[in-house]
Every structure is written in structure tokens, then in C-alpha cells.
Amino acid sequence: MFTLIITIIAIALVAALAVASLYYGGSAFTQGTAKAEASALVAQAQQISAANDLFANDNAGSFATATTDLTSNGYLSAWPQIPASVGGIWALTSATEDQETATITNIAVCNEVNAEAQGTASGTTPAMPATVSSATTQFGCAGTTSGTSFTVFYSGS
């Protein structure tokens, strides 16, 4: 009987600790997820950019105009998929420049992309430009805080 009581108390304590960690550490879990998703977006953009640079080297300086230019010719094994929790899709900007863009709907991920681009601490909310511009940084996120979609950009060259 004593062992049963000790076991029940131990289970209750573990459950209480689990609830407390979710309650007090919930924002840390959410923030870590947004940072990981932002890093995944930047890594995907770098992969697309590198493949596009290789394509341009093999095609007299002309960048790819369609995703199939990169996937069917072996520059990418498959087109990168944005995490489902972020939503969106990558697009090639034009045949004359190496800039990849994605439209996403998650403002927390957009803030983390900008924090990573500007070298600020995770969880901060750096200034978000209203439009895409690669003049000052190689990658970032743009949009308005009242909007429902944001543009992640990456300039490879």
C-alpha cells in the first residue's frame, strides 16, 4: 500500500511539473519554433540561390525563370517546401536577377527572419520594412504588421 501511495504522489508531481513548464515556458517553446522555421526559410532560400547561380553559370548568365529549370536539370533534387505551420511558397523573381521570394502568413516567423538578418536577439521585433529591398541586407522579411501576408526575400548575388 505504501508503494502505491508513493507512486501516485510521484505521478502527481511529474504532472504538476509538466503543467508548470508549459504554463511558464510556453512562450519559449513558441519562440523556439518560430526561430527554427525562420532558419529553415533562410536555408531553403540559400539552396535555391546556389542552384540558380549554377544554372546561370551553365546558361550564359541567364537565371532560371521557372522552378522546373532547376529541378528537372539536376540543380535541385526537389523544390523546397515551406513548413506547413508557416504556409507559403517560394518563387523565382526574374531571369535577370538572383532573388528568391516567398509569401508567408506567420508574423512571428517574419520577425525572426529579420532578427536573424540584422543579428539581433531572438524574440525581438526589429523594424519591418513595408516593401522588399535587398539594398541593405542579403535576406529579410517585409510587409505591414496589419497585413495578412509577408514577403521573405533572399538575394544570392
Q: What is the spatial distance between Cα 148 and Cα 18, in angstroms, rounded to a whole number?
A: 34
Quick check: is 20 in a domain? no
Longest dimension (CA), the chain: 81
pLDDT at 18 over 60: yes
Query: Which ranges in the chain belong to alpha helices (H)?
Result: 2-58, 67-71, 107-118
| pTM for the predicted model, two decimal places | 0.70
Quick check: is 5 in a domain? no
Quick check: is 17 in a domain? no
Q: What is the pLDDT of residue 62?
A: 84
Identify which of 58, 95, 90 has the alpha carbon closest to the alpha carbon of residue 73: 58
Number of compact structural domains in the chain: 1
Cβ contacts of residue 125 below 8 Å, gap of 6+?
A: 111, 115
Q: What is the pLDDT of residue 101?
A: 80
User: Taking phi first (over 0 means left), then psi (-120 to 50 degrees means alpha), and beta for anything else, what does residue 4 get?
Assistant: alpha
pLDDT digits (tens, 9 = 90+) for 67-106: 888 888 889 998 888 888 788 888 876 666 667 788 887 7
pLDDT digits (tens, 9 = 90+) for 101-156: 888 877 788 888 888 877 776 666 666 666 666 666 778 888 776 666 777 777 76
Q: Which domain holds residue 145?
A: 26-155
Quick check: is 10 in a domain? no
Label residue 28 by pLDDT band (50, 70, 90): low
Contact 128, 143 (CB under 8 A): yes
